[in-house]
Amino acid sequence: MKLRIMFILTLILTLLAAPIWAKNIRQDLVRAGTLEQVMSKNKLRIGFSTFVPWAMKDKKGGYTGYEIEVARQLANDMGVEPVFIPTKWSGIIPALLTGKFDIIIGGMGITPARNLKVNFSKPYEFSGMSIVANSKIAAGKVNLNDFNHEEVTIVARIGTTAASAAKKYLPKAKLRLFDDEGQALQEVLNKRAAAMISSQPFPEFQTLKYATKLFLPLAGKTFTKEPIGFAIQKGDADFLNFLNNWVLVKQSDGWLQERYDFWFTTQDWKSQVQ
Amino acid sequence: MLPQQPSRWGRLDIILLSLLFVAIGYLGYRINAGLEYRWNWQVIPQYLVRHDPEAGCVPNLLLQGLLTTIRLSFWSLLLALPFGLLAGLLRTSLHLFNRLVGGTYVTLLRNLPPLVLIFIFYFFISDQILPLLNIGERISAAPEWLQHVLALSLAPVDQLEAFLAAVMTLALFEGAYIGEIVRAGINNIESGQWEAGRALGMRRWQLLRYIVLPQAFQRMIPPLTGQAISTIKDSAIVSVISIQELTFQGMELMAATYLTFEVWISVTVLYFLLTYSCSWLAGRLELRLRRIYTH
Which residue ranges form the domains of chain A, and what is each CATH number? 36-126+226-273 (3.40.190.10), 129-215 (3.40.190.10)
| Contact call for A52 and B35, based on CB within 8 A | no
B178 confidence band (pLDDT: 50, 70, 90): very high
Rounded to an integer, the average pLDDT of A62-78 is 92
Residue B194 CB-density burial (10 A; 0-12 exposed, 13-18 middle, 19+ buried):
middle
Q: What is the pLDDT of residue B5?
A: 65
Nearest CA to A141 among A150, A152, A130? A152
Q: pLDDT tens, B244-268?
A: 899 999 988 888 888 888 899 999 9
pLDDT at residue number B3:
56
CA B224, B229, B232, B237: dihedral to nearest 10 degrees? -80
**Residue B206 resides in a domain:** yes
Residue B55 lies in a domain: no
In whole angstroms, give the CA distance from residue B77 to residue A42: 35
- Lowest mean pLDDT segment, chosen from A223-227, B22-26, B122-126: B122-126
Indicate which of A59, A83, A178, A273 best probes the interface with B, i.e. most B CBs within 10 Å of its own CB.
A59
The string over B25-46, giving b where at least 16 C-beta atoms fall within 10 Å of a residue's C-beta and e elsewhere, is eeeeeeeeeeebbeeeeeebee
A/B interface, count of CB pairs below 8 Å:
84
The CA distance from A89 to the nearest CA of chain B, in Å, is 10
pLDDT reading at B136 higher than 70: no
Residue B79 is assigned to a structural domain of this protein: yes
| pLDDT, tens digit (0-9, with 9 covering 90-100), for A119-151 | 999 999 888 899 999 988 888 888 888 899 888
- What are residue A44's DSSP bridge partners? A82
Question: Could you tell me if residue B29 is inside a domain?
Answer: no
CA distances B136 to A31, B139, B155, B216, Å, are: 19, 5, 12, 40
Determine, yes or no, domain membership for B32: no
To the nearest whole number, what is the mean pLDDT of chain B? 86
| Closest Cα in chain A, distance from residue B247 (Å) | 12
pLDDT digits (tens, 9 = 90+) for B6-32: 677 788 989 999 999 999 999 988 877
Q: Per-residue pLDDT for B1 more than 60?
A: no
Of B127, B239, B244, the CB nearest to A98: B127
Average pLDDT over residues A76-91: 90
Q: How far apart are CA A163 and CA A185, in angstroms?
A: 14
**Upstream peptide bond of A217 is cis (omega within 30 degrees of 0):** no
Answer yes or no: is B131 within a domain: yes
Decide if A182 and B46 are in contact by the 8 Å CB cutoff. Answer: no
Q: Which of A60, A137, A191 to mutate to test the interface with B (most CBs of B within 10 A)?
A: A60
Would you call A127 helix, strand, or coil by DSSP?
Answer: strand
Helix, strand, coil share of chain A (percent; to 5): 45, 20, 35
Q: What is the pLDDT of residue B99?
A: 94
Lowest mean pLDDT among A16-20, A22-26, A101-105, A268-272: A16-20
pLDDT at A197 over 90: yes
CB neighbourhood size of B82 (10 A): 12
- Judged by CB atoms closer than 8 Å, whether chains meet at B50 and A86 is answered as no
Q: Are A164 and A111 in contact (CB under 8 A)?
A: yes
Predicted local confidence at residue B179, as pLDDT: 95
Distance from the A189 Cα atom to the nearest Cα atom in chain B, whole angstroms: 6
Buried b (16+ CB within 10 A) or exposed e, B105-144: bbeebeeeebeebbbebbbeebbeebeeeeebeebeeeee
ipTM of the prediction greater than 0.90, yes or no: no
Any B CB within 8 A of A136 CB? no
Of B159, B256, B260, the CB nearest to A50: B256
Mean pLDDT of chain A: 87
In this prediction, residue B217 carries a pLDDT of: 87
Domain extent, residue B173, equals: 66-294
pLDDT digits (tens, 9 = 90+) for B146-158: 877 887 788 777 7
Find, among A168, A162, A153, the residue nearest to A180 by Cα: A162
Split at pLDDT 50, 70, 90, the class of A14 is confident
* Residue (of A118, A82, A75, A113) closest to A98 by Cα position: A118
pLDDT above 90 covers a percentage of chain B that reads 42
Q: Give the mutation candidate from B39, B67, B121, B252 for the A interface (greatest A CB count, under 10 A).
A: B252
pTM value is 0.79
Q: Which residue of B has its CA nearest to A46?
A: B158
Cα-Cα-Cα-Cα dihedral sign, residues A220, A225, A228, A234: negative
* Residue A120, strand partner residues: A231
- How high is the pLDDT of residue B78? 94
- The pLDDT tens digits of the residues spanning A144-192 come to 888 998 889 999 998 888 999 999 999 999 999 988 888 899 889 888 8
The CA-to-CA distance between both ends of chain A, in Å, stands at 85
Helix (H), strand (E) at residue B57: strand B56-59
- Residue B20 resides in a domain: no
Class of residue A27 by CB neighbours under 10 A (exposed 0-12, middle 13-18, buried 19+): exposed
| Cα A151 from Cα A227, distance rounded (Å) | 32
The whole-angstrom distance between B28's CA and the closest CA on chain A is 16
Tell which B residues from 196 to 255 touch A, by Cβ distance under 8 Å. Answer: 239-242, 244, 248, 251-255
Distance from CA of B163 to the nearest CA of A (A): 12
| For residue B113, pLDDT beyond 60 | yes
Each residue of B181-195: pLDDT tens digit? 999 999 999 999 999
Which residue from A235, A228, A250, A227 is spatially nearest to A35, judged by alpha carbons?
A235
Residue B229: how many CB atoms within 10 A of its CB? 17
Backbone angles phi, psi at A140, to 5 degrees: 85, -10
Under DSSP, is residue B136 helix (H, G, I), strand (E, B) or coil?
helix
Interface touch B35/A190, C-beta < 8 Å: yes
Q: Mean pLDDT over residues B269-286, rounded?
A: 91
A85, β-bridge pairs = A47
Confidence band, pLDDT 50/70/90 cuts, at residue A80 = very high
CA distance B207 to B194: 7
Give B-chain residues touching A93 at CB under 8 angstroms. Answer: none
Domain containing B275 — which CATH number?
1.10.3720.10
pLDDT of residue A15 exceeding 80, the answer is no
Report the alpha-carbon distance of residue B19 to residue B9 in Å, rounded.
16
Amino acid at B162: A
Question: Does any domain span residue B5?
Answer: no
Q: Where are the alpha helices (DSSP H) in chain B?
A: 11-34, 44-48, 61-91, 96-110, 114-120, 126-133, 135-141, 144-153, 160-187, 191-199, 204-206, 213-234, 246-257, 260-294
Chain A residues 76-115 with CB within 8 Å of chain B = 83, 85-88, 91, 94-95, 98-100
Tell me how many domains chain B contains.
1
Q: Which pLDDT band, with edges at 50, 70 and 90, does A1 fall under?
A: low
Residues of B in contact with A183 (CB under 8 A): 254, 260
The one-character DSSP state at B240 is G
pLDDT at B4: 61
